[in-house]
């Protein structure tokens, strides 16, 4: 089963090409689901599971994986489907999101699919598990639903958007009041986190739900004759989004003479040296793993200092 992730080593070739790889799996039925391979550390058979008292209803228990204690989350139950029953033949997907590692219990792993982001579409509106999807796609005439893992994790481990008082007391943030920032992310949870934190600085916030919409917004402002570095303090973009990812968005910004000097920050649940290397490749100005309110404010401070000392 470990061989299913062999292609991860080639993932850097996808960056800037508006492509991604998804790991497809099933939960408590025949429907196909997926997550980005970038987030996956390994796929394996469920080790011995230890139950915990007063655990969240979607947490099956914990496992010890090479000395690291990881929670095992029933992904089926977490998105409103029938719970899975863990046993010694169960499959888990070990992932890293926002600097935390966790395992998701699934019904069975299918295969890895290499796609262009243009074939990834926003999910349809509606109730039920639609709220837990960031996108959909198709393979062999079968619908594949891409799960919003950030929303799942936020419901299990609530986040805080509060910025520490000592950071907010820095006088340089008086310069931020009234300045405008564009936030580009396909996850409503991530956008809410950003808005809750940045609103504490008095910033005026614009949002776009994917890279293509973000680029269209920027070009519209530029077409109106606005000087973009006067219009916007900076742009925050997620890495993986339907239709156009954050890497491609950054590349498009850098190749448009009207947009090329914008300060762009990659704000993503992906982490590690891989992402930092890719940030340099596509020309981002900064990189920040979700979700760290104080460090988010520190990035704003770094940008403000480019205009001169406090």
User: Which pLDDT does position 270 carry in this prediction?
Assistant: 67
For the stretch 61-98, pLDDT in tens is 999 999 899 999 999 999 999 999 999 899 999 998 87
What average pLDDT does range 193-210 have in this prediction?
94
Same domain flag for 143 and 177? no
Q: How high is the pLDDT of residue 307? A: 87
* 156 within domain boundaries: no
The pTM assigned to this predicted structure is 0.78
Render pLDDT for 142-178 as a digit per residue (tens, 0 to 9). Answer: 999 999 898 899 899 877 888 999 999 999 999 999 9
Q: At 272, give phi and psi (nearest 5°).
A: 100, 175
Average pLDDT, the chain: 87
Residues 13 and 61 in one domain: yes
Question: Considering the domain boundaries, does residue 83 fall inside one?
Answer: yes
Last residue of a domain, one of 114, 149, 184: 149
Mind giving me the DSSP string for 6-47? GGGGGGGGGTTTTEEEEEEEE-SSS-EEEEEGGGEEEEEE--
Place of tokens 């805080």: 160
CA distances from 13 to 19, 134, 254 (A): 9, 23, 19
Query: Which domain, by its residues, includes 221?
Result: 165-305
Q: By the 8 A CB rule, do 119 and 146 touch? A: no
Query: Do 169 and 142 fall into the same domain?
Result: no
Work out the number of other CB atoms within 10 angstroms of the CB of residue 201.
23
Total number of domains constituting the chain: 2
Shared domain check, 90 and 189? no
Q: Which residues pair with 95 in a beta bridge?
A: 40, 102
Average pLDDT rounded to a whole number, residues 42-54: 91
């Amino acid at each position: 089963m470990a061989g299913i992730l062999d292609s991860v080593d080639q993932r850097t070739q996808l960056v800037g090409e508006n492509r991604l790889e998804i790991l497809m799996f099933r939960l408590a039925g025949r429907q196909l689901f997926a997550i980005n391979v970038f987030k996956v550390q390994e796929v394996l058979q469920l080790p011995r599971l230890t139950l915990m008292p007063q655990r969240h209803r979607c947490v099956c228990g914990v496992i010890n994986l090479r000395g690291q204690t990881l929670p095992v989350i029933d992904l089926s139950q977490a998105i409103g489907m029938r719970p899975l029953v863990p046993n010694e033949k169960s499959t888990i997907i070990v992932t890293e999101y926002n600097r935390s590692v966790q395992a998701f219990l699934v019904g069975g792993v299918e295969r890895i699919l290499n796609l262009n982001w243009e074939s990834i579409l926003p999910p349809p509106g509606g109730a039920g598990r639609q709220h837990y999807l960031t996108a959909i796609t198709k393979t062999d005439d079968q619908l594949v639903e891409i799960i919003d893992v950030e929303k799942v994790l936020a419901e299990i481990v609530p986040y805080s958007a509060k910025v520490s008082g000592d950071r907010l007391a820095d006088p340089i943030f008086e310069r931020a009041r009234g300045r405008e920032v564009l936030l580009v992310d396909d996850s409503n949870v991530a956008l809410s986190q950003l808005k809750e934190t940045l609103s504490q600085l008095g910033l005026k916030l614009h949002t776009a739900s994917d890279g293509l919409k973000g680029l269209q917004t920027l070009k519209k402002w530029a077409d109106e004759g606005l000087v973009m570095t006067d219009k916007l303090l900076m742009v925050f973009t997620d890495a993986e989004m339907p239709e156009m990812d954050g890497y491609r968005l950054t590349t498009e910004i850098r190749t448009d003479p009207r947009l090329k000097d914008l300060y762009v920050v990659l704000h993503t649940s992906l982490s590690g040296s891989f992402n930092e290397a890719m940030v340099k490749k596509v020309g981002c100005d900064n990189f920040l793993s979700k979700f760290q309110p104080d460090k988010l404010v520190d990035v704003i401070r770094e940008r403000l200092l480019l205009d001169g000392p406090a």
